[in-house]
Amino acid sequence: MIYKQIGLLVRYALDCGLIEKGDEVFCVNRLLEILELDEYEEPCLTDESTELEAILKAILDYACEKGLIENNVTARDLFDTKLMSVFVPRPSSVAKRFFELYAESPEMATDYYYKLSRDSDYIRRYRVSRDLKWKSESEYGMLDITVNLSKPEKTPEEIAAAKKAAPGGYPKCLLCPENEGYAGRMNHPARQNHRIIPITIDNSDWGFQYSPYVYYNEHCIVFNKKHIPMKIDRNAFRKLLDFTELFPHYFIGSNADLPIVGGSILSHEHFQGGRYEFAMAKAEVETPVVFSGFEDVRAGIVKWPMSVIRISAKSKERVCCLADKLLLAWRGYTDEKCFIFAETDGEKHNTITPIARRRDGDFEMDLVLRNNITTEEFPCGVFHPHPELHNIKRENIGLIEVMGLAVLPARLKTELSLLRTAILENARLEDDSVLSKHAAWVASFKDKYEFTEENTESILRKEVGLVFSKVLEHAGVFKRTEEGRDGFMRFLRSVGTEQPV
């Protein structure tokens, strides 16, 4: 049977163009080496399916049965990455082909690279397809909702083993270029099938790759080749705009550089982008403004639950200069009426989440004002989802959420299914150890609907979307009230803006 699975895996690689016919024997022998086999009989393959997940599962089951690996998610992931590495070209070959295609068009280059990342199983399509995804209508546009199931759940034993594993200093983090080709370990994923495209932005060396979890179409990560911390400054704006010049069909953005309002990896400078238009990008400017000395740069407040200033111009440098002016002003800005403090007890609170894109040939940047102040009442952050929303979203509001895509925890798949049953059975949620956290939320909308077998799931999804709108409103520093709008205009006037045009 194992010979058959080896044959099917090689056929898969041939079918999707990872290898050519002349590579077949070489790849079989590499797989035999990994599986510790000395013999091979060519199987008879007729109309057998080359569905990758099923092939890899069969080989992994064999490896577990023969004692080659332990039967857990981590060990299996490390091993199947090693198997797939057999079919992936060397980094220099991938980069060479990428730039050959780039000379024809950036889209052709990224199409090639994205296909390679998927076919090589660096992006595990079969896992990504399990994510729950839907769109939710809001007053700000159509929001994207996803319940993230791409990252496999680990057993307590695997978690314990990862904690016991000696902390490695190589690679320094998940974003370092040394991950390319790395075999992995219990507390660090394998990246033998991973390839990085070298690019230059702002005259510095960076890497371009795709996220293995692809929360949206062609979700890419762009990272500094040096392991240096995140920093939002004029150079960061220039790097973002440079990227949009290299890849005008992609947007690019950066998480903020402070805890709570920043991303999960603040220790390594990186951006995220892709070929997708989020609700925030579609949102219109509701209050145009003109900044003194920047009359050639269009600017205004975006109709969005968070506090967003959009600026655009033909000149990349002019957009960069105005973005820097706004950042410096915001870093030092305090407005006690809106509970905005630039600094308390020596800790700085204000920063920006920037997103850059090309629109009709112009350079466009959205600057999202952020503040990470905490209080005894809100220890997770004043401008963070408040406790009444934690049943749905407790985690930080990073770049992806800011743009209008809710990345929700995997637990909600089970909990929403259980809630559907409980609502239809009119069960008392307060008595359920799992569902009691949702009791107040369900009570807030239960009387609005007539629940049936057919509509309960869609109602729950709609209400989740409404919660996400509130999550974004909580993260906004200037609330969408008359007082909040006045506060927003006070800040803009402090920068040097004229009255709205």
Render 369-429 in DSSP notation, one character per residue: EEE----SS-TT-TTS--GGGTTT--S---HHHHTTEEEE-THHHHHHHHHHHHHHTT--G
Radius of gyration of the chain (CA): 25
Other beta carbons within 10 Å of 420:
16
* Cα 17 from chain centre: 28
Residue 351 in 3-state DSSP?
Answer: strand
Report H helices in 171-315. 234-246, 279-282
- In order of 267, 269, 290, 309, 398, the CA distances from 328 in angstroms are 22, 20, 18, 14, 21
The tens place of each residue's pLDDT in the chain, 501 residues long, gives 899 999 999 999 999 999 999 999 999 999 999 999 999 999 888 778 889 999 999 999 999 999 999 999 999 999 999 999 999 999 999 999 999 999 999 999 999 999 999 999 999 999 999 999 999 999 999 999 999 887 665 555 655 555 555 666 899 999 999 999 999 999 999 999 999 999 999 999 999 999 999 999 999 999 999 999 999 999 999 999 999 999 999 999 999 999 999 877 899 999 999 999 999 999 999 999 999 999 999 999 999 999 999 999 999 999 999 999 999 999 999 999 999 999 999 999 999 999 999 999 999 999 999 999 999 999 999 999 999 999 999 988 999 999 999 999 999 999 999 999 999 999 999 999 999 999 999 999 999 999 999 999 999 999 999 999 999 999 999 999 999 999 999 999 999 986 554
pLDDT value, residue 157:
62
pLDDT value, residue 391:
96
Other beta carbons within 10 Å of 139:
8
β-pairing, 362-371 with 308-313? antiparallel
Q: Helix-strand-coil percent breakdown of the chain, rounded to 5?
A: 40, 20, 40
Of 51, 53, 50, 25, nearest in space to 40 by CA: 25
Distance CA 206, CA 285 (A): 33
Span 120-152, pLDDT tens digits: 999 999 999 999 999 999 999 999 999 988 766
What does the chain come to in residues?
A: 501
pLDDT value, residue 49:
82
pLDDT value, residue 141:
96
Distance CA 94, CA 91 (A): 5
Other beta carbons within 10 Å of 447:
7
Report H helices in 437-481. 439-445, 456-475
pLDDT value, residue 501:
47
Distance CA 445, CA 75 (A): 45
Distance CA 283, CA 46 (A): 53
Span 404-458, pLDDT tens digits: 999 999 999 999 999 999 999 999 999 999 999 999 999 999 999 999 999 999 9
Distance CA 47, CA 92 (A): 36
pLDDT value, residue 1:
83
CB 35 within 8 A of CB 63: yes
CB 271 within 8 A of CB 252: yes
CB 316 within 8 A of CB 241: yes
pTM for the model: 0.94
Residue type present at position 71: N
H or E stretch covering 311 = strand 308-313
Q: What are phi and psi of 77, to 5 degrees?
A: -65, -40
